[in-house]
Amino acid sequence: MRKMSDLPRDLTEEVLCRLPVTYLRAARFTCKKWNTLSKNRSFTMKHIREAKAAAKKKHKKEFQVVMMLEYKVYLFSVNLISPSIQRIGELISLDVADRISISQVYHCDGLLLCITNDINSRLVVWNPYCGQTRWIQPLKSYHRWDRYALGYDSCRSHKILRFIDNYDEIRGETRLIREFEIFDLKSNSWKVVDVTPDWDIEFYHRGLSLKGNTYWFAQEKLQVPCGTVVSDIADFLLCFDFTRERFGPRLPLPSHCFIEDTVTLSSVRGKQLAVLFQRWNTLEMKIWVTTKIEPNVVSWSKFLVVDMKPLTGFQFDINAGSFFLDKKKKVVVVVDKNRVVDKNRYKSTRNIAYIIGKRGYFRKVDLGEITDATCYPLVCSYVPSSVQIKQASTQGNHNTP
């Protein structure tokens, strides 16, 4: 009897091309031949074409997103006509196993930058589609208050920005830690960048990668005595240009927010940037989308304004509240936790996707039980890609966890 591993290459490709991305890991365990073939660039490009053609043939109005729930990363299929949000499967490669917990995830160009939920954080760049991973060793060490960004320059060379600008207690003393570093996956090296920021980016404000660069919601750095209460700070959009390897000028936001407000960024099909504002007192939610976006210029168009008080009755968490939207359907999906009253206090028990549209349209999709109160659900757009991760030389130690 002929074994599956003995099938001709063209027939093997036809079999593997019919598998969803979340099943490729199991196929790679079948035999060395399938493992090698499934990671081949020509195969991955064919697999992507086949998947797009199949979706179009079935007239499915679906797209995919990546979600981090309970420190694990999943691929979801979203249909906003039904509507439904269905888990396709957990994204696991040959190297990233169940024992790895993920605390942060960033998407750029089909690659995911994952930060592990360890005492000493570790970084891994991951292409779930190709099953490739690359662990990134620090120049000296990582820090619990690190911010990260994944992007690429004009030559499509992928890079990681790591920075910290925080006071922390060191040996009983409160000291300022200021470090800005760039890791180049092509040259397998770290570079120290000289930055003296006159701005602040809160730890919970995640950067958004768009067209190779990364954008943050930032605020004016205030020099005020410790303990001073400040309720209003100048805010703006800030870009890190991975080609020039520097931060750009302050870019105007379409609306001003106060410290207690919820503000979060998202992308629209990888071409536009969207920003969500929600007032802490009125619960009004406004979403704007860029009509033009570059490191040194931005313009905005209003997308949606919704009074969330009669729909949820609470403010989306400033630590969570990540979202994505569909421009044609004028619908936004915010991923957060629920709020239930328990002994006159709000308590969260489930991860929820809130689907919000015009004229009071509102739906909720249950994403599962909360098992760790410190883990906030996160969502980011995802487009399968055949981008190959540049591996470190065998002489270095940058590719080991």
Residue 116 falls within a domain, yes or no?
yes
Q: Give the residues of the chain that fall short of pLDDT 70.
A: 1-61, 92-99, 224-231, 393-401
**242 and 321 share one domain:** yes
Distance CA 240, CA 214 (A): 5
**10 and 147 share one domain:** no
For residue 97, the model assigns a pLDDT of 47
**30 and 86 share one domain:** no
**32 and 71 share one domain:** no
Distance CA 226, CA 85 (A): 45
Residue 355 falls within a domain, yes or no?
yes
For residue 225, the model assigns a pLDDT of 60
Nearest one of 75, 132, 78 to 386, comparing CA atoms: 132
For residue 119, the model assigns a pLDDT of 78
The number of distinct structural domains making up the chain is: 2
Tokens read off for 358: 């015009």
Residue 231 falls within a domain, yes or no?
yes
State how beta strands 350-356 and 331-337 pair: antiparallel
**8 and 144 share one domain:** no
The upper half-sphere exposure of residue 64, i.e. CA atoms within 13 Å in the direction of its Cβ, equals: 22
For residue 133, the model assigns a pLDDT of 87
Please identify, among 21, 41, 60, the residue that sits at the C-terminal boundary of a domain. Answer: 60
**39 and 83 share one domain:** no
For residue 84, the model assigns a pLDDT of 86
Q: How far is the CA of 178 from the CAs of 143, 214, 215, 235, 258, in angstroms?
A: 11, 19, 20, 21, 26
**205 and 332 share one domain:** yes
Q: Are 321 and 205 in contact (CB under 8 A)?
A: no
For residue 18, the model assigns a pLDDT of 55
Give the pTM. 0.83
**235 and 324 share one domain:** yes
Residue 392 falls within a domain, yes or no?
no
Residue 401 falls within a domain, yes or no?
no
**150 and 280 share one domain:** yes
Residue 391 falls within a domain, yes or no?
no
Q: Identify the three-state secondary structure at position 47.
A: helix
Residue 373 falls within a domain, yes or no?
yes
**309 and 333 share one domain:** yes
The domain spanning residue 34 has which CATH number? 1.20.1280
**3 and 140 share one domain:** no
Supply the range of the domain harboring residue 297: 61-381
